[in-house]
């Protein structure tokens, strides 16, 4: 459970209909297998002790007695398992002579409580109303497995005293499909993990809908959701059950199996869920949560080995189709933001400083799309390249070729002499290649762009991206400033994919544009503020501040999810440990926290720009941080990782 992770599982045993003894053996074996793999919370299917498809046999005393005896055997043979399990069985109530479709929540040989199914389907292929009563508003103490008294209530929660944030709620199959799923109230009363015991038959196309339900409910409720489905062994007289097991967390499917028996395992991040709930002021406790009761239980805290998917590039969709769709969406959002600003200011043109690098390329592409949306000619874009001491022929040529293929008005302003005059004025030696030497060029470029915009009644379009803003890798009042920053919430790893997407889109209609975009993609990331060596770029950004692949990973988990440095480091090793050594990751993680804290003053006065993803650092939007906050606690935690 270190760092908030807890291993959970959905299990589908291979059963025999109405053979409770056999089914108990299968359930016990599956529980023991789960415990051996470190699972701490296990969900099993609806009515799996008897089988869901028993029909009118559910009314037989013999089957009900067999189910109770089977549960007793399960309790007896799992007393040593350090695991909470929800197992489905029919339970008869002697006080109202009704039969309830229940989940028995058990731990270490003890029944913690019964959770009855609330929504009883009696339509289509389902006839549960023929046998079962709804558990809505039912509260009773029942005698089960001998003399044991067990509370049955649809509003029961199971809280782990030894693991912070682990509070389990249970619903059963149709409960999720109903207009008001019980899980909504359970979560508002404190549940962080919902178990769904299900027997959902398989139909063509139903799996996608079921998947969307589970993922959507976990997102809406900001919770973990474990869906355990009936499978092989259920009667196929009229239906087929596929064992479609799903583990979801806050809208993301972590693990999934279908047409299989056995375990589906992953880890739920309880700290992540708690952070998101703290942040969302609309996530409010249920006003009537006094109607919910909690049963406490204990699990032994243990280190949880990770198996859940953690991508190297969290800002970039892994699947190619999703990536293309995301790129198109971002281009549209950013262009719509700029379109509105150009309309509102009645700007005669958009001025873009074009370096031949990735960021300015993306800014030009977005600006071109904004002009298209406005129905204005692309010649209303003024693309300006401003060569100076560090400019190479490759980037200068690419800037010109790009502007020509886009159809922008293009202008070259060599700022070398202006910068030399400025250096003479302030007494800066040309041999002193210090930060003043670099920033003097960046600020001169910004002055040129601003003055050209004034001449034409236009707007300067910013090119700086989210990763640079996080690290403060921008010259204050130089490239840090613009009149509208279209790239401000786009991380560097995504800038690269957006440019690649534009190249792919241009391949058929404009091969020359595609070619120049691909050459820009192959160009090392550099501000080109130091003289080149033998005609090649001498200043490589990632050699100075670290790989953007790492920094974007750090940014996503440290800021978007508020993870501790220790947890960010652990996830970075898990996701990127094959590409970078432990020492390299730790080195650049320290650098990330140093720069993130020290450079906040630059983020406190950013120009306007559209938020396009889940994270932005605008002081008017996502991120409010004092510029003089200190990073002592964060750095101390990192030092302890040595």
DSSP 8-state symbol, 128 = G
The string over 228-266, giving b where at least 16 C-beta atoms fall within 10 Å of a residue's C-beta and e elsewhere, is bbbbbbbbeeebebbbbbbbbbbeebbbbbbeebbbbbb
Using DSSP's 3-state secondary structure scheme, residue 284 falls into coil
Return the pLDDT at 433. 83
pLDDT at 517: 94
Residue pair 272/308 in contact by the 8 Å Cβ criterion: no
Short-list 63, 161, 73, 170, CA closest to 115: 170
| Helix/strand/coil for 149 | strand
pLDDT at 94: 77
Tell me the C-alpha distance between 246 and 547, whole Å: 35
pLDDT band at 288 (very low <50, low <70, confident <90, very high): low
Average pLDDT over residues 284-306: 82
CA distance linking residue 11 with residue 232, whole number of Å? 12
Q: Tell me, what's the pLDDT at 435?
A: 86
Q: Where are the alpha helices (DSSP H) in 346-415?
A: 358-374, 393-406
Share of the chain above pLDDT 70, in %: 95
Backbone angles phi, psi at 174, to 5 degrees: -55, -25
Q: Tens of pLDDT along 236-272? A: 888 888 999 999 999 999 999 999 899 999 999 999 9
Q: Which two tokens stand for residue 54?
A: 């028993």
CA distance 216 to 223: 10
pLDDT at 608 over 80: yes
Mean pLDDT, range 611-634, rounded to an integer: 92
Dihedral of the alpha carbons of 313, 319, 320, 325, in degrees to the nearest 10: -90
Binning pLDDT at 50, 70 and 90, where does residue 560 land? Answer: very high
User: In Å, what is the CA distance from 125 to each residue of 13, 55, 177, 231, 447?
Assistant: 23, 12, 15, 17, 72
Annotation: CATH topology of 320-544 = Rossmann fold (3.40.50)
Report, as an integer, the average pLDDT of 282-297.
77
Radius of gyration, CA atoms only, the chain = 30
Question: From CA 105, how far away is CA 110, in angstroms rounded?
Answer: 9
pLDDT of residue 532: 63
CB within 8 A of 174, min separation 6: which ones? 117, 119, 120, 121, 126, 128
Residue-wise pLDDT tens digits, 299-342:
998 889 999 999 999 999 988 899 999 999 999 999 999 999 99
pLDDT for residue 204: 87
Region 568-594: what's the mean pLDDT? 95
pLDDT tens per residue across span 161-217 = 999 899 999 999 999 999 999 999 999 999 999 999 999 888 888 899 999 999 999
Picking from 537, 512, 525, 475, the residue whose alpha carbon sits closest to that of residue 359 is: 525
| Phi (first) and psi of residue 614, to 5 degrees | -80, -5
Q: Is the pLDDT of residue 445 over 60?
A: yes
With CA atoms as reference, report the closest residue to 599 among 551, 539, 534: 551
Residue 27: its pLDDT value, please? 97
Residue 541 pLDDT grade (very low, low, confident, very high; cuts 50, 70, 90):
low
The pLDDT, as a whole number, for residue 309 is: 93
2-297 matches 320-544 in fold = no
Please check the confidence at residue 381 and state whether its pLDDT lies above 70. Answer: yes
3-state secondary structure of 606: coil
Q: What is the pLDDT of residue 419?
A: 92
Phi–psi pair at 234, nearest 5 degrees: -65, 150
Angle at 275 between CA 464 and CA 257, to 5 degrees: 95
In CATH, which of 3.30.470.30, 1.25.40.420, 1.10.760.10, 3.60.110.10 is domain 2-297? Answer: 3.60.110.10
Catalytic residues: 46, 117, 173
Quick: pLDDT tens for 385-425: 999 887 777 878 899 999 999 999 999 999 999 999 998 99
With a cut of 60, say whether residue 528 has pLDDT above it. Answer: no
User: How far apart, in whole angstroms, are the C-alpha atoms of residue 58 and residue 50?
Assistant: 9
With bands split at pLDDT 50, 70 and 90, how would you rate the model's confidence at 45?
very high
Is residue 201 helix, strand or coil?
strand
Q: How many angstroms separate the CA atoms of 554 and 592, rounded?
A: 8
Given this model, what pLDDT does residue 125 score? 82
Domain ranges of the chain: 2-297, 320-544
Mean of all residue pLDDT scores within the chain: 92
Q: What is the pLDDT of residues 90-105, one digit of tens each?
A: 999 877 789 999 999 9
Tell whether the model's pLDDT for residue 584 goes beyond 90: yes
Kindly write down the DSSP assignment for every residue of 26-72, as one continuous string. HHHHHHHHHHHTT-SEEE--TTTTT-TT-GGGGG-HHHHHHHHHHHH
Under the banding of pLDDT at 50, 70 and 90, the label for residue 438 is: confident
């Amino acid at each position: 459970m270190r760092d908030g992770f807890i291993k959970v599982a959905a299990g589908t045993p291979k059963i025999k209909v109405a053979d409770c003894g056999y089914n108990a053996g299968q359930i016990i074996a599956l529980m023991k297998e789960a415990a051996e793999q470190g699972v701490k919370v296990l969900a099993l299917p609806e009515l799996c002790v008897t089988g869901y498809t028993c029909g009118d046999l559910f009314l037989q005393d013999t089957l009900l007695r067999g189910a109770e005896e089977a549960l007793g055997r399960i309790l007896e043979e799992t007393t040593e398992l350090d695991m909470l399990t929800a197992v489905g069985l029919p339970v008869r109530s002697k006080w109202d002579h009704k039969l309830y479709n229940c989940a028995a929540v058990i731990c270490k040989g003890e029944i913690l409580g019964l959770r009855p199914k609330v929504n009883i389907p009696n339509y289509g292929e389902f006839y549960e109303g023929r046998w079962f009563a709804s558990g809505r508003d039912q509260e009773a103490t029942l005698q089960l497995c001998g003399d044991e008294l067990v509370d049955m209530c649809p509003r029961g929660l199971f809280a782990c005293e030894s693991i912070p944030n682990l509070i389990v709620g249970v619903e059963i199959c149709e409960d999720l499909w109903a207009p008001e799923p019980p899980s909504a109230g359970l979560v508002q009363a404190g549940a962080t993990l919902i178990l769904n015991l299900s027997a959902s038959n398989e139909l063509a196309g139903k799996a996608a809908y079921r998947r969307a339900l589970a993922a959507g409910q976990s997102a809406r409720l900001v919770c973990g959701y474990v869906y355990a489905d009936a499978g092989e062994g259920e009667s196929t007289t009229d239906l087929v059950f596929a064992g479609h097991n799903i583990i979801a967390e806050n809208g993301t499917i972590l693990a999934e199996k279908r047409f299989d028996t056995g375990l589906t395992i992953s880890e739920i991040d309880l700290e992540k869920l708690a952070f998101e709930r703290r942040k969302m002021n609309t996530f409010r406790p249920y006003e009537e949560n006094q109607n919910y009761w909690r049963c406490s239980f204990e699990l032994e805290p243990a280190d949880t080995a990770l198996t859940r998917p953690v991508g190297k590039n969290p800002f970039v969709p892994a699947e190619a189709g999703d990536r293309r769709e995301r790129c198109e969406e971002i281009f549209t959002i950013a262009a719509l933001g700029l379109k509105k600003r150009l309309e509102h200011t009645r700007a005669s043109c958009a001025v873009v400083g074009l370096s031949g690098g990735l960021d300015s390329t993306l800014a030009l592409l977005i600006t071109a799309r904004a002009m298209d949306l406005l129905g204005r000619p692309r010649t209303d874009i003024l693309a300006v390249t401003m060569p100076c001491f560090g400019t190479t022929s490759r980037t200068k040529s690419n800037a010109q070729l790009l502007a020509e293929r886009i159809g922008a008005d293009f202008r070259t302003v060599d700022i070398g002499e202006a910068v030399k005059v400025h250096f003479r004025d302030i007494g800066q030696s040309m041999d002193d290649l210090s930060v003043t030497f670099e920033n003097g060029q960046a600020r001169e470029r910004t002055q040129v762009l601003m003055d050209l915009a004034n001449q034409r009644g236009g707007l300067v379009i910013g090119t700086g991206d989210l990763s640079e803003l996080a690290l403060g890798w921008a010259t204050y009042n130089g490239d840090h400033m613009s009149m509208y920053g279209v790239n401000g919430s786009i991380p560097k790893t995504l800038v690269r994919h957006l440019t690649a997407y534009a190249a792919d889109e241009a391949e058929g209609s404009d091969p020359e544009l595609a070619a120049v975009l691909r050459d820009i993609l192959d160009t090392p990331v550099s501000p080109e503020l130091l003289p080149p060596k033998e005609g090649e770029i001498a200043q490589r950004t990632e050699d100075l501040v670290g790989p953007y692949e790492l920094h974007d990973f750090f940014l996503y988990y440290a800021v978007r999810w508020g993870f501790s440095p220790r947890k960010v480091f652990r996830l970075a090793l898990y996701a990127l440990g094959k590409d970078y050594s432990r020492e390299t990751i730790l080195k650049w993680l320290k650098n990330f926290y140093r720069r993130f804290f020290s450079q906040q003053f630059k983020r406190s006065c950013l120009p306007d720009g559209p938020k396009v993803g889940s994270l932005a650092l605008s002081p008017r939007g996502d991120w409010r941080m004092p510029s003089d906050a200190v990073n002592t606690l964060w750095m101390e935690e990192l030092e302890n990782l040595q």
